[in-house]
Amino acid sequence: MKKNTHGEKALLAAEKLVEKMGGMDKSKVNEKLPLFVRDDIPSYAGIATFLKTPYYEDFNNIKDLDVAFVGAPFDVGTTFRPGTRFGPESMRSISKLFKTYNFEAGIDLALEMKMGDIGDIFSIHAIDREIEQLSEAVSTILKQNVFPVVLGGDHSIAYGTIKGVAKSIEGKVGVIQLDRHLDMTPLMMGEKMHDTPLYHAGSLPNVDPKNIVHIGIGGWQNDARAAAGTKERGQTVLTVDDVDELGVDKVAEIALEKAWANGVEAVYLTVDVDVIDSGISNGTGWPEPGGLLPREVLRLVRKLAEPGLIGMEVVEVSPPYDDNNQQTALMGVRIICDTLCSLVQNGHLPKK
Ligand SMILES: [Mn+2]
C-alpha cells in the first residue's frame, strides 16, 4: 500500500481542520474594508501581544485561560552582553508573522484552547528580589491552573521560575534545559547571575538534581568546576555530539527518562536560545558556535513535550545583537509554538 508523504498528510489534516471550522468561507471575498484594524489582518498592524492573543490586565483573574504568555524583561544577570530586557518585546513583535495554525500538525492552537498575554512581570533589577517576583508570578499563574510560557529575560530568571513551579506542586519537579552552557556555577561576581540558575534550582526542596537534564552543552565557555559539580550532583548532560550521533529522538528519550525518574510529578522546560548554532542565531548574550540546528531544536522540544510539561520559558533573546531578520526572536517564538502544538497533539493542553 502506498504510504502518504508528510506533505500529503498535512494537506489532508488541513481539509479536516477546515471542516471543523465550518467549511470554506467564500462569502467574505467582496466584504467592505473595516475602518480600524480589529482582527489579525493585516499581520503587521495591531497591538503586539504574543501571537496577537488578547491582553489580560488582571493577572489574578485568568482562570478561563489555558495558556498565559508573560514577559520577564530582565538582564541584570548577564555577564557579557546585556539586552535581554528587550527579549519579550521582540518575541511579541515578530510573533505577528505567525498564524496559530501549524501546517504539518494540522492543528490550530487558537481553536484548541484559550491563550492570552498577561503582560510583563515587574522587574526589580536586583537579582534576589527579582527571583522572588518571578517565583510569585509563576505560582500566581499555576494556581489558576494555567500553563505559563515565560518570555525571558536572561537565564538567571530560571531560578525564580523553577522556584515558582516547585512551590506550586506537592511532588517532585524535574527540569530539562536546552543550553550551550551548564549554568551550574554556584555564584558569579558574587551573585546568582545567568550562569548559575540550575545550580540553585537543584537545591530547592522538591527538585532532585538527578532530575535535571542538560541538552546541547559544549564548547569553550563552560567552567570545569561547574562541570565536575554537575557530575557530583548526578545530573545528565547530553552534548551536541550526542544529538549528532544518537539522533534527536534518542536524546529526547534519554532526557525524558532521567527528568521523570523516581516519581517526578511535573517537568519544566527551560530553553536558552544560545543552544542554537550562533552562526544561525546570534541575538544572544553569550554566543557559542557549534550548537544545534534550528530543526533539531524544534524536533527536540516537540519530543520533550510528549509526556507533558508544567510550564516553559525561552531565555537569552537579546535583540540588540539579533540580525535584521530578527532570527533569534523568530526562533524563540517557534520554540514556544512547536512545544504548545506537541502538548495539544499529545492531549496535555487544554487542561480544562
Ligand atoms: Mn543559559
Q: What is the pLDDT of residues 122-173, one digit of tens each?
A: 988 899 999 999 999 999 999 999 999 999 999 999 999 999 999 999 999 9
Break the chain into its structural domains and give their ranges.
50-345
- Could you tell me the distance, in angstroms and rounded to a whole number, from the CA of residue 270 to the centre of ligand 1? 9
- Could you tell me the distance, in angstroms and rounded to a whole number, from the CA of residue 268 to the centre of ligand 1? 15
More confident site: 227 or 30: 227
Q: Which residue's entry shows cell 564548547?
A: 219
332: Cβ contacts below 8 Å, ≥ 6 apart: 87, 91, 151, 273, 314, 317
Predicted confidence at residue 32, as pLDDT, reads 80
Beta bridge partners of 199: none
Give, as one character, the DSSP assignment of residue 297: H
- Could you tell me the distance, in angstroms and rounded to a whole number, from the CA of residue 178 to the centre of ligand 1? 8
- Could you tell me the distance, in angstroms and rounded to a whole number, from the CA of residue 177 to the centre of ligand 1? 8
327-345 and 294-304 helices cross at what angle (nearest 10)?
30
Rounded Cα gap, residues 16 and 18, in angstroms: 5
- Could you tell me the distance, in angstroms and rounded to a whole number, from the CA of residue 180 to the centre of ligand 1? 7
Predicted confidence at residue 33, as pLDDT, reads 82
- Could you tell me the distance, in angstroms and rounded to a whole number, from the CA of residue 84 to the centre of ligand 1? 12
CATH superfamily label, 50-345: Ureohydrolase domain (3.40.800.10)
DSSP, collapsed to helix, strand or coil, labels residue 101 as strand
Ion ligand 1, residue ranges at CB < 5 A? 155, 179, 181, 183, 272
Predicted confidence at residue 28, as pLDDT, reads 60
- Could you tell me the distance, in angstroms and rounded to a whole number, from the CA of residue 64 to the centre of ligand 1? 33
- Could you tell me the distance, in angstroms and rounded to a whole number, from the CA of residue 265 to the centre of ligand 1? 24
- Could you tell me the distance, in angstroms and rounded to a whole number, from the CA of residue 321 to the centre of ligand 1? 16
Predicted confidence at residue 201, as pLDDT, reads 98
Predicted confidence at residue 1, as pLDDT, reads 66
Contact (CB, 8 A) for 269 and 305 = yes
Indicate whether 341 pLDDT > 80. Answer: yes
Cell of 150: 515565560
Contact (CB, 8 A) for 163 and 198 = no
Indicate whether 261 pLDDT > 80. Answer: yes
Indicate whether 48 pLDDT > 70. Answer: yes
Indicate whether 352 pLDDT > 90. Answer: no
The pTM of this model reads 0.96
